[in-house]
Structures are given as structure tokens and as C-alpha cells.
Chains A and B, each alone.
Chain A
Amino acid sequence: MRRTLGRRTALRSLAGALAATLVLAVAGCGGDDEAGTDAAQAGPNGVDDGSELTLWTRAPLEKQAKLLVDAYNASHQNKVSLTVVPNDDYVAKVGAAAGSGGLPDLFAADIVYVPNWVSQGLFQDLSTNINGLSFKDQINKGHLSAGTLDGKPHVLPFVLDLSMLFWNKELFKEAGLDPEKAPANLEEYAAAAKKIQGLKKPGVYGTATGLNCGGCLVFTWFPSIWASGGEVLSADGKSSELAGDTAKQVYSTWADLWKSGAVLPSSAGETGPTWTAAFTEGKVGLMFYPATLLSSTPFDAGVAGIPGPTGGASTFVGGDGIGVSKDSKKAAQAWNFLSWMMSEDAQVEVLAKNKDVVSRADLATNKYASTDPRLVTINEVAGKGDTPVALNFQQAFNAPSSPWLTLVRNQVLNGTGDVQKDNEEITAVLQQ
């Protein structure tokens, strides 16, 4: 008798404890914190009063983020402490922090995720501050519009990463191609790749890409479609137009390249971590490649905008946007960092000095850019580039099992599948 009673009491108190913990957990998740200092009331430059600020970014932009933070800390009373998170873990970490109200004061986000994160309310409204900037019209439009909700900008460009056509001048010379002239369209691109493949040098391939990496393909193939006047998404980001004629020409060019054996074989399974490695080692003739790697490419490389099937030039304006988080109690101080980041001091003396792209058009021709004509090219193409905006971008394109990957792999590698049907699958995900 006593035994049953004891067990029942134990069960009851256990259930009580469980319920109490659940209630606590739920309360913790749902709590809305009262707003701290308001960025809008802090004036155009924010507050520099020796506060500690926290900033999160993802690993691919570590170099640029470190330079910016170090330069800011050296010249201001506020101190920013930087946390760099591995690329694959970033969404999970931000998600967990957002759910429990623990986001840092400032955090950067892959620009393709920014529309979703802004609409989920992860960033504070900065419209008063951003609209007050005298050079607002010069700020990169793709990044600014990705972070704009209901006409209110929430996010500024942190680091711009552009996809460009890079070619290895040494290999071009050996293959009898003009090392100073970029292929003018996708057909010439394929011809150049085949010619370099024709050298039959061991371990050297014509071109390379990441055929199992949705993000790489978005970054490098969308510009091909734009360059010839095609579109990839409808204006509202709710339907996919990747079965258009220009897109089909892009797929068939690559399918032909793949069949001819001029593409690095590991490209077929490449999920992203090493998609640029072969080019950096000088083993690939030409490829669509991120401009942030310009300063770490050790040999003489040519740079041009990405051409489409009928010529033209475009680029994917990627990289990260940055804003003040919903959980920040130091918005006025955080704005001080952001306003400094957009200033000429930071854009030219930090970013341009490191051969990075500036996010203000009026600073594109600066003293550092003019010493390397490739930087001028990159800055010029940046104006012609685009940033697609869609709420479900990650699931439709970047995720490892995205319908976009299925479409590309069917078209290029397997030679099967119905491009219309695969495209409808992307639209279905975009509309969820």
C-alpha cells in the first residue's frame, strides 16, 4: 500500500516539476523585451560612450569582419567583440538565439536570407537613420532592397561578395588564347575551356563549378541568365522562371561542357567546401569565382563580369547585410558602428585597401582601386549586378536537397528530367 502511494506521489511531483519547467521554458521563449535606447533618437552618428557591443558573422567573411572591427575599436570608445560562426551552423545558431531572445547587438546575414529574417522581425527598423544618410542613394541597391520591409530599410551592406569570371592567364597563353581578353559570351567561355582541356596537362581542367552546391550555382549561374536579359524569379519572389529560354541555353552549354570532359570531375559531387580550391591552385583554366578571393589568388588572373549565352555581363551581388538585432538594448551605440562602417574612412581605408568591393557607388573609383584595374572592373560590374529577393530562398536554392539542385543535376549531369516540372517544384517551395 505504502509502495503504491509513494510511487503515485513521486509521479505527481515529477509531473509537477515537468509542468513548471515547461511553463518557464515557454515564458522564456515568448517574452518580449522592452526596447532599450532607440537608434532613431540617437542622431546621425549614434552614441559612442564606451559600451560593449557584440557582433556575429559567418566564417567566409571572417577576414573582412576582423579588419572592420579592429579599425572601429582602435578609433572609438565603444568596443565591438566579434564572434565568427562556421557557415553551416550560422542559421541554427541565429535561430536558437532568436527564439530565446539572445541575439547579439549586431549580426550579419547572408544577403539571400535577409528578406526572410527581416520579415520575421529579427532586425530593428533603421529607416529614420538610413533615410537620414546624405549618401543613401549611393548605397548598393541590391543589399538595401533585400533588407527593406514595407518601405522601411532594416539592413545595411556589411561585405559585398560578387561572382566574376576569373581566368588563369598562364594557361590561356599555353592554349594559344589571348590572355588579356575575356570570353565575350558563354559559347566563347565553353570554347576556351575545351581548348585548355585540349592541352592534356595532367591534373589541369578547362573549368570547374559546384554541381552539388545550390548556393554556388545560384551565385555563378544566375548572372549568366541576367547578362542576356533573362529573369530568374518573378518580382515578388513567389515564382521561379528558371525554365526560360536563356536559362535553358545556360544548362545546355554546361551539359555539353560536362560531356566533353572539360569540367573538373570532382565538380559533380562538390557540396561547397572546396569548390574554388582547384582554380586557386592554378589547375583550372577559367571559372566563375567569388571576387572576395581576389587578394588570395596567388597567380596572374584576369577578371571580367559573367557573360550570358548572347554576351553581356552581370554579377550576383552576394555577401552579407548587417543590422541591429531585435534583442539589442544598445541600438544607439550599435548605430554608431553602422554609420562609421558606411563612412569613407571604413569603406576606402579598410575595405578598398584590402582589395574588397566598397558598398557605396560614389566611392567606387578610390585611390586603391585605381592601382589595380581589376578592382575597377569589379566595382563597375557591381552596378550591373542583381540580388534576388525571395522569402523561401534558402529552402528553394541553398539547401542540400533543394529543388534547384535537382533541376541543375537533371539538366547537366543526368540528361533526364523535365525542366518545366523541376521549375514548378521550385515555385511550389517558394510559395510555401
Chain B
Amino acid sequence: MSDSAATRGRARPRGRHALLGWLYATPTAVFVVALFVVPLGLVVKMSVSRWPLLAGDQGLNAPDNFEKAVDHRFFTDSVVFTIKYTVLATVLLLVLGLGLALLVQESSRWNNLLRASFLIPSALGLASASLLFYVFYSPFASPLAPVMESWGFTFLGSPTAALLSTTFLIVWRYAGFYMVLMLVGLQGIPGDVFEAARSDGATRWQTFWRVTLPLMRPTLALTTVLCVTGSLLAFEQFYILTKGGPDNSTITVVQLIYQVAFQGQNDLGVAAAISVIVLVALVVINALQLRAFRSEES
């Protein structure tokens, strides 16, 4: 608190000042409590309670739910698959986003058209996009059905094909979004830096590697955090396209939470326990990412 503020605070009646402060903070506080703190508290409570979906709260049973969660026959599989998917999606999206951004960086008439066409898929909700691709990939209803038939191949038929097909949907849906983020970062780099590099005789590759990338670090940090978090929480695309199949090869962690809660086991306690594990993992992963980007900077 600065000196002037402290003086002003002393000049006015103390109670009124504090009251005004509370008043200003109330709207935000109400939303934070109602939409974040209460649900979070409820999930934590569920995770340490016996809480079947149909019967409700049956009292504390910690740490049974966490043991059951880790012992679940798909827990390890789903963690491994989620990490695999996250690495694949993050690498593809960041490289492609940056590549597209470099491609459309200069503003010209054609580039405006290109930018718009890359961005259009982002206007579609993820669930709607997944439904679109569900039909597109279906060996029965797809316009590509004759091709699939003659090649004896289906987009969602084998574990690898299902993973790649779903990743393709995500790249199609999000590449434009990451392009825009990268574009903002690129345009934040002052033009005279490039000029200086050019007059020093740097090649295009050297300029990209030594000038563009280091100056893009804040943008790269943001996009990596967004992409990793988003991919670790992947749900809709797999729920609609594969339902975890074929042969349980594409179950993500969030899908596992949904399955445990609503599709069979119907145990909110165990589902909440997995949610808490995911939450802690996400906090740790994001902290590590931010630290990695910061320490390189200093």
C-alpha cells in the first residue's frame, strides 16, 4: 500500500473505508465463491466420501476412493493415452500454428482471405465439429465411404487410426486459433530488429532461429500452456467420435471420470478422486511449464 493511500485511509473514518472495500470486492467474491470455491470444495468432499450416484452422500471413507481410482483397470491406460495424445496434439498445433502465422504474416489481399479461411473452423463448437467428423469418418454415411471400402480401411477402426483421425479433427479445429495467437506474438516484435538482422547479413533461417523464436517466448509460453491444458482435459472429441474405442484404446482421463460417474460404476466419489488427481497434476504441470519458460528468459 502506498503512502498516499495510507494517509487518505487515516483521514477518513476507518469503518466506512473498509466497508467500501468489501462492497467493491463483493461482486467478484460472490462469483468466485459460488462458481469456483463451492464446486471445488464439493469435489474435494466427494473425493473423500462414499458417494454413489443414485444414493447420494453416505459419509466419509477416505482414502478408499483414491485407492479405487488408482486401481481402476483403465487408470494407467487412460493416463498413458492422454499424455500420448497431448504430446501429439501440442507439437502439431504449435508447429502448424506458427507455420501458418509466418505464412500469412504480411498483410496483402490474399493473406486476408487465407487468414479468414484458417480461422473459420474455430467458429464451430467442438461438439458440433466432432459430430461433423463423426459423419465424415463413418464408413456408412461418409462421402468417402467408397474410398474406405476399396482400400479396406476405416478412420476409427483401429487404435492408431482412431487417434490420428481424432488428432486431425483437433488440428483442423484449432490450428486457426493458434495461428491468431502466434500472429499477435509475431506482430509484437518490432520491425527494426529484423532490419538490424538483415543488415548484419543474417540468413532467413538464422533470423528465425536467433531473433523470432527468442522474442516469441511469452507467446510460446501462453500457447503451450493453453494447448497442454486443453489436450489433457480432452473429452468431447473422443466421447463423440470413439467412445473410448476401439477396444478401449482411446480413453482419456476426463472420459474415465465421466464413465466412472455416469456409465456403469455410477460412483461420484471415485470420479471426484480422479478429478482431484487431475487437478493437482495440472497445477504442477502448468507451474513447471511457466517456470521453464521464465528461467530461460533470465
Q: Give residues in A with beta carbon < 8 Å to B.
A: 3, 6, 14, 17-18, 21-22, 25-26, 29-30, 91-92, 94-96, 98-100, 116-117, 120-122, 212, 264-266, 268-269, 271, 274, 277-278, 392, 394-396, 398-402, 405-406, 409, 414, 432
Contacts and interface: CB of A to CB of B under 8 A. Distances in A.
B154 A265 contact: yes
Contacts of B41: 18, 21-22
Given A91-B263, A394-B266, A400-B263, A269 B156 contact: yes
> Per DSSP, are chain A's interface residues mostly helix, strand or loop, or mixed?
helix
Given A95-B54, A99-B56, A120-B54, A399 B259 contact: yes
B57 interface: yes
A414 B42 CA distance: 43
A414 B246 CA distance: 11
Task: Please provide the 8 A-B residue pairs with the shortest distance between their CB atoms, ordered closest to farther.
Answer: A395-B264, A399-B264, A95-B53, A266-B139, A266-B140, A92-B262, A400-B243, A99-B56
Nearest to A278: B140
Interface of B: 1, 18, 21, 29, 33, 37-38, 41-42, 45, 52-57, 74, 138-141, 148-149, 154, 156-157, 243-248, 251, 259, 261-266
Contact of B37 (A14, A91, A116): A14
Contact of B56 (A18, A29, A265, A395): A29
B57 A265 contact: no
Contacts, number: 117
B264 A120 contact: no
A49 to B, nearest CB: 31
A271 B245 contact: yes
21 contacts: A14-B37, A18-B37, A18-B41, A25-B42, A30-B56, A91-B262, A96-B53, A99-B56, A99-B57, A100-B56, A117-B54, A122-B54, A212-B245, A266-B154, A268-B154, A269-B246, A278-B140, A395-B266, A398-B263, A399-B263, A400-B245
A267 B21 CA distance: 64
A364 to B, nearest CB: 34
A394 B52 CA distance: 14
A425 to B, nearest CB: 8
Contact of B266 (A95, A269, A396): A95
A401 B33 CA distance: 36
B263 A21 contact: no
Given A18-B33, A268-B154, A269-B156, A30 B52 contact: no
B259 A401 contact: yes
Nearest to A121: B55
B156 to A, nearest CB: 5
A400 B246 CA distance: 10
Contacts of B33: 14, 17-18, 21
Given A91-B263, A395-B265, A409-B246, A98 B56 contact: yes
Nearest to B142: A266
B55 A414 contact: no
A396 B157 CA distance: 23
A266 B153 CA distance: 10
Nearest to A275: B140
A269 B139 contact: yes
A362 B245 CA distance: 44
B139 A265 contact: yes
A383 B177 CA distance: 59
Nearest to A432: B265
Contacts of A396: 264
A354 B213 CA distance: 69
Contacts of A25: 38, 42
A277 B140 contact: yes
Contacts of A17: 33
Contacts of A406: 247-248
A135 B244 CA distance: 46
A22 B42 contact: yes
B162 to A, nearest CB: 8
Nearest to A277: B140
Contacts of A94: 54
Contacts of B266: 91, 95, 394-395
A394 B38 contact: no
A274 B246 contact: no
A432 B247 CA distance: 22
A268 B157 contact: yes
Contacts of A399: 259, 263-264
Contacts of A271: 243, 245
A95 B140 CA distance: 34
Contacts of A212: 243, 245-246
Contacts of B42: 22, 25
Given A6-B21, A17-B33, A95-B54, 14 more contacts: A14-B29, A22-B45, A26-B57, A91-B262, A95-B266, A99-B54, A99-B56, A120-B55, A268-B246, A269-B157, A271-B245, A394-B264, A394-B266, A396-B264
A394 B56 CA distance: 19
